Amino acid sequence: MTRWARGEADIEAMLAANELQQVRGDATDGPGWLDKAAKTLSSAEELASTDPNSAYTLAYDAARFACAGLLAQQGLRATSTGGHYAVQQAVIRRFGATFEPYGTMRRRRNELEYPQFPDEIVEPAEAAEAITIAGSIIAATGKLIDRLDVF
């Protein structure tokens, strides 16, 4: 495998801005993140009808874990400076539109985590949609992860 070109300049800029950092060794275990994503998604599915707010948050976490796995497999991880937004930007710039729904989920999760109104709720259908999207992100990650080189 060779170093990849798509998104390379963006990743370099994110490294220079301390939004991402390079990691080595055990920290590059992308499949471990993918396993964690699948377990978290399973928990979201169990809560979808009884606690849709928590199910949405867990679905978001599952998608984030999958995306973090893609970064880890490439020897990258978000810093506290870059946070979840850096994960979003890195996977979209590197892997394209398949991962754009993660950004929508991230923004909605932020609305739930930091609500303007205390009664912000997620309907069961919205939680179910988030679970479906997270499942798609996990599936896409599964197809990519073993084909990735360290950056």
Give tens-digit pLDDT for 101-136. 999 999 999 999 998 888 889 999 999 999 999 999
Domains parsed from the chain with CATH numbers: 12-147 (1.20.120.330)
Phi and psi torsions of 61, nearest 5°: -60, -40
Q: Are 70 and 95 in contact (CB under 8 A)?
A: yes
pTM exceeds 0.85 for this model:
yes
